[in-house]
Amino acid sequence: MEIAPERKTIAKAISVRFATKFDQEWVKWKLTVDPLFASLLPWLRATDLPVLDVGCGRGLLGFYLRESGVSAAYTGIDFDAAKIKSAQDVASQYTPTPRYHALDARQAWPDSRGHVCLLDVLHYLPAKEQAALLQQCASHVSPDGSFIIRSGIRDTSWRYRITAGTDKVMATFGLMKSPPESYPTLEELGTVFENAGLEITEMQTPGKGALFNNHLMVCRRKRS
């Protein structure tokens, strides 16, 4: 797999800002091998709308946006207080400063209306809680904003079996703070989006050579 030089440059620029060697190496690896953050730029830098990143982890999306010249307000939330503290320490090195909050998704969220990103989060929740979280995310999407989701999808493919199996192994070895609970189907997601007044306008399915069954979906409010 050929990796764009720009991604390598940004990965290095972000990773060296983290305090621990483990975080530096993990962040550099993640940003180098995963094209996710680069793939979001066309939507997130097309406007100056604020970005709400739900389940932001170490806050990498916020830093990637800053390194890519995006100055729109960015807010990240995550229940892992240690990761948020790490993100806050790095955030102070950027202007405008990305904001990070340690809170559970069931607590009150910061008042951000614009784009919403929910990346690799849904499978940590039971199916019923997934629908509630998606509805809450949708309520923060502005009329001109996008709701961008990446999630492993449950289906009959070999990619799904690899996705679920890999996550179980990572959870067993303590590489996840919480184990995976349930992977949504495309039909389940479509129903929630419909009820929230959203429609999928773009979808990226796993490409040739991809091992995991991750789907990237961009939703927007339906036009009356």
Last residue of a domain, one of 95, 112, 129: 112
Angle at 183 between CA 201 and CA 128, to 5 degrees: 90
Nearest to 150 by CA among 163, 168, 139: 163
Nearest to 98 by CA among 64, 145, 144: 64
Last residue of a domain, one of 86, 112, 138: 112
Identify the pLDDT of residue 2: 55
Phi, psi (degrees; rounded to nearest 5) at 176: -125, 140
How many independent structural domains does the chain possess? 2
Nearest to 38 by CA among 3, 12, 71: 3
Q: With H, G, I as helix, E, B as strand and everything else as coil, classify residue 55.
A: coil
Query: How does DSSP classify residue 173?
Result: T
Nearest to 206 by CA among 168, 150, 165: 150
Does residue 96 have a cis bond before it (omega within 30 degrees)?
Answer: yes
Low-confidence ranges of the chain (pLDDT < 70): 1-3, 224
Cα separation, 92 vs 89, whole angstroms:
6
Tell whether 148 and 176 lie within a shared domain.
yes
Tell whether 158 and 82 lie within a shared domain.
no
22: Cβ contacts below 8 Å, ≥ 6 apart: none
Tell whether 162 and 208 lie within a shared domain.
yes
Please give the span between the terminal C-alpha atoms of the chain, in angstroms, as a whole number: 43
Identify the pLDDT of residue 217: 98
Fill in the amino acid letter for 188: E
Tell whether 103 and 152 lie within a shared domain.
no
- Could you list the residue range(s) of the whole structural domain that residue 198 is in? 119-224
Q: With H, G, I as helix, E, B as strand and everything else as coil, classify residue 200.
A: strand
Sign of CA dihedral 162, 164, 167, 169: negative
Tell whether 187 and 85 lie within a shared domain.
no
Q: What is the pLDDT of residues 119-157, one digit of tens each?
A: 999 999 998 899 999 999 999 999 999 999 999 999 999
HSE at residue 45, side-chain half, CA atoms within 13 A, is 16
- CATH for 39: 3.40.50.150
Identify the pLDDT of residue 140: 97
Tell whether 107 and 123 lie within a shared domain.
no
Count of positions (residues) in the chain = 224
Last residue of a domain, one of 112, 131, 165: 112
Identify the pLDDT of residue 224: 66
> What mean pLDDT, rounded, does the chain reach?
94
Tell whether 150 and 223 lie within a shared domain.
yes
